Amino acid sequence: MGDTCRATVRVTGTVQGVGFRPFVYRTAVDAGVTGHVRNAGETVEAAFEGPRDAVERVVTALRNDAPPLATVERVSVDWGDPLGDEAFEIRDSEADAGGGIDVPVPPDTGICDACLDDVRDPASPYHGYWATACVDCGPRFTVVRDVPYDRTRTSMAAFPLCADCRERYETPTDRRYHAQTTACPDCGPTLRYEVDGRSVTTGSEALRRAGAALSDGTIVAVKGIGGFHLVCDATDPDVVASLRERTGRPAKPFACMVPSLDSLRGVAAFDSTEADTLTDVRRPIVLLEKAADSSWLDAVAPALDTLGVMLPYAGLHHRLFDYVSGPLVMTSANRPGEPMCTTADAVWSRLDAVVDGVLAHDREIVARCDDSVIRVVDGDERFVRRSRGWTPTTLPNPVGGDVSPVLALGPERDATVALATGEGVVLSQHLGDIDGPDARSFHRDAVDHLCTLTDIEPRTVACDRHPEFLTTAEADRYAADGLAGPVAVQHHHAHAAGLCAEHGVERAVVVTADGTGYGTDGTVWGGEILDARYADFERVGGLGPFSLPGGTAAIEHPARVLASLLDSPELVDERLVETGAVGSRAAAETVRQQAEKGVNAPTATSAGRVLDAVSALVGACDRRTYEGEPAQRLEALATSGTVHPLSLQYRRANGRRVLDTPALVADLAEMLSSQSAADVAATAQAALARGLGTLAVEAARERGVGTVGFTGGVAYNDAITRRLREVVTDAGLAFLTPAAVPPGDGGIAYGQAIVASARASGERKRPASSEDPGG
């Protein structure tokens, strides 16, 4: 054969579960070379045989033309003599490689540039077609029923390929070769527009009708990839107000979809990192700083300095913007406490009073999947929600080994579930709040779907320690079905263990600050400093305890918390009445007595509640209408404030060093008489960060631990994160923050899976070692 050769190639980077092997196959066959490709550990390994220039062309293509979701970091090549391979094949993966669970189903992605070009090209058979997809793009996780991943096991099975599509599907050099969701206007799904539950028109006319309805200021439900959105013209405050009224969301920020990056200028500020994230083919919602003060921005995200924005991702969205100029509000279509609707029937039966029309299609959504949400905090990207586009990719399990598979059921709010083996952890899509029958059945479906896709049969079940969570009851049910456990994992330990695990750090002192988590002593934790390892932890410091007069009422009316934190009856009564927490001065006194005597006033150490109380103190938020509202409004107010010096006081509580929160709030209240509310807000955040950071550094030094972490919902706060990092790095310690896993409760299932894996691994090792130090 003259100058033939064999190149053995290793590709490292993000190359698994992203369509890389089919791409290698296509490229090799296209170039006429033989050999194979397979996943090996965290890398992709391939061999190419053929004329030297053809093999070199393939190797160059690996570096330069990788599919959109792949990131090629390095391509190493060993040249050798040909072995005589006669064809090119995709081989099974090396099973023992420890490079993560081999999930054969990739995540959903937005339409790729090549497919969008087809949609825009009048000469293309896909011209104008909203549902075209190729091997690099389109729905995946949301349409797959079972593995192996093949069209017959997806909801695309209902659309047999036409002759032309089949030919492309069977042509190795075509972009649609073995693209399971490929479709064209002749054979693929169709669109329809519905009014009052009945289809009134189809195809492009359906898009035109939906566009006209949106331009007319009405609310339309639009079926996307993972579910329905409620959509309206974002720049029309009247329709946004009507959406708020009809959905009972008086102040919750709505995400927007804008037609292009250019159209975002003047609306929100973004740097190059944020631009890259917005244009990532997975198309998450990105929380950006508002660029202007305008009435429509204030209607969409009231009293906040941020706006959630995304670019069109489904072909359908791009086509919709042919008929409406945007920006559009795009918020999940669900009733409070229920998961997002995935069928037009569900929209009409549940949201009939909300929507004026429905733009739907007939491609069934097998697995509901909400949009992912990302915020850049202190220069780094954080998942507010890790869902569409990232599910079902694998996260690390540093415990490793042959631990028996764990099913972790998550917490109650913002839940996800996770499946873990020694190879890695697969985290589900966002499941929302698991507090009703519909949410519970979604939770069960998500577990089943994930087990099916990963082919993992869990042996141990893990859950939160909270005895009253529905997810805890679910864990008991799985245990009754024969799974070991439930392994009850303390909420903040799950946060901390997850942070350590994603970075492969076995031990760290972790500041875990959030709203609520059930403590080992039965009180409400949330401002904790933990000396954390994978299997266990020690609570070494944090915020001093205070009370929540009225229990959950104190969460809805944050001024109630002031009654516990602030020993200034006059001011407390005033704030209680002014904010509407109580109706009269007499009632205010009752709240103070509740706090004093501890009657119907659970004990808490929650950082979220302290921020809420300060928010009520400075007048940033009277009443919480959605999760995190008081703290987010405080953060927005603080951006225009200046931090003033404040001396902090510490004391001991139950053997721990804690920040004296009543002393802090008293100082802030005094400062309010001479400084602006914005300054007090900024000072409060800085003080909380400095206090927790100082205590964490002290604990780390005392214990000889070199790393301090920060996680929990408060870790979304940019100012607090920056200040904490300063305190930690100034002390010469390493600082860890969540990168791959949400710091909020969406990351809890991951942490639970790690803790349960570590405990199982410890138990397995115990008989072999007579002196187990335990922990």
Site residues for Zn ion per CB under 5 A? 112, 115, 134, 136-137, 162, 165, 184, 186-187
The least CB distance from residue 165 to Zn ion, in Å, is: 3
Backbone angles phi, psi at 225, to 5 degrees: -90, -45
- Cβ distance to Zn ion smaller for residue 134 or 234: 134
The least CB distance from residue 314 to Zn ion, in Å, is: 12
Alpha helices of 351-405 — where are they, by DSSP H? none
The least CB distance from residue 26 to Zn ion, in Å, is: 13
Distance separating alpha carbons of residues 20 and 69, to the nearest angstrom: 9
- Tokens standing for residue 747: 């990351």
- Cβ distance to Zn ion smaller for residue 109 or 516: 109
Q: Which residue has the tokens 């600050």?
A: 513
The least CB distance from residue 42 to Zn ion, in Å, is: 26
Are the CB atoms for 195 and 363 separated by under 8 Å?
no
The least CB distance from residue 259 to Zn ion, in Å, is: 19
- Cβ distance to Zn ion smaller for residue 187 or 484: 187
Q: Give 697-705 contacts, CB < 8 A, sequence gap 24+.
A: 697/727, 697/728, 697/731, 697/733, 698/541, 698/657, 699/509, 699/529, 699/531, 699/540, 699/541, 699/657, 700/509, 700/731, 700/733, 701/731, 703/509, 703/531, 703/540, 705/507, 705/508, 705/509, 705/531
Q: Considering Cα of 563, then 569, then 572, then 578, what sign does the dihedral take?
A: positive
The least CB distance from residue 201 to Zn ion, in Å, is: 22
- Cβ distance to Zn ion smaller for residue 312 or 422: 312
Backbone angles phi, psi at 131, to 5 degrees: -115, 20
- Tokens standing for residue 581: 């927490």
- Cβ distance to Zn ion smaller for residue 138 or 432: 138
The least CB distance from residue 466 to Zn ion, in Å, is: 44
- Cβ distance to Zn ion smaller for residue 389 or 486: 389
- Cβ distance to Zn ion smaller for residue 225 or 616: 225
Distance separating alpha carbons of residues 713 and 710, to the nearest angstrom: 10
Q: How far is CA 597 from the centre of its chain?
A: 40
Alpha helices of 404-490 — where are they, by DSSP H? 437-454, 470-480
The least CB distance from residue 318 to Zn ion, in Å, is: 12
The least CB distance from residue 118 to Zn ion, in Å, is: 8
- Tokens standing for residue 139: 């729905």
**Max Cα-Cα span within the chain:** 98
* Amino acid (1-letter code) at residue 93: S
The least CB distance from residue 429 to Zn ion, in Å, is: 22
- HSE toward the beta carbon, residue 754, CA cutoff 13 A: 34
Nearest CA to 328 among 267, 381, 393?
A: 267
- Tokens standing for residue 246: 């009809």
Q: How far is CA 455 from the centre of its chain?
A: 23
DSSP class per residue in 499-528:
HHHHHT-SEEEEEEEEEEEE-TTSSEEEEE
Are the CB atoms for 315 and 360 separated by under 8 Å?
no
Cis check for the bond before 545: say yes or no (omega within 30 of 0): no
The least CB distance from residue 448 to Zn ion, in Å, is: 29
- Cβ distance to Zn ion smaller for residue 138 or 527: 138
- Cβ distance to Zn ion smaller for residue 25 or 525: 25
**How would you classify the pairing of strands 507-518 and 524-533?**
antiparallel
- Cβ distance to Zn ion smaller for residue 158 or 241: 158
The least CB distance from residue 120 to Zn ion, in Å, is: 13
Distance separating alpha carbons of residues 617 and 606, to the nearest angstrom: 17
- Cβ distance to Zn ion smaller for residue 129 or 534: 129
- Cβ distance to Zn ion smaller for residue 127 or 701: 127
Are the CB atoms for 369 and 726 separated by under 8 Å?
no
- Cβ distance to Zn ion smaller for residue 134 or 687: 134
Are the CB atoms for 105 and 387 separated by under 8 Å?
no
The least CB distance from residue 277 to Zn ion, in Å, is: 20
- Cβ distance to Zn ion smaller for residue 20 or 469: 20
Give the chain's radius of gyration (CA, Å): 27
Q: 378 to each of 13, 361, 721, 738, how far by Cα in Å?
A: 25, 41, 7, 12
Q: Taking CA 45 as the corner, what is the angle to CA 40 and CA 48, rounded to the nearest 5 degrees?
A: 155
The least CB distance from residue 44 to Zn ion, in Å, is: 20
The least CB distance from residue 23 to Zn ion, in Å, is: 12
Alpha helices of 534-578 — where are they, by DSSP H? 552-556, 559-565, 569-578
- Tokens standing for residue 317: 């969205």
Are the CB atoms for 64 and 14 separated by under 8 Å?
no
Backbone angles phi, psi at 318, to 5 degrees: -60, -40
* Rounded (10°) angle between helices 677-703 and 629-638: 110
Q: Cβ of 15: how many Cβ atoms within 10 Å?
A: 26
The three-class DSSP label of residue 654 is coil
- Cβ distance to Zn ion smaller for residue 165 or 687: 165
The least CB distance from residue 367 to Zn ion, in Å, is: 21
* Amino acid (1-letter code) at residue 603: T
- Cβ distance to Zn ion smaller for residue 119 or 501: 119
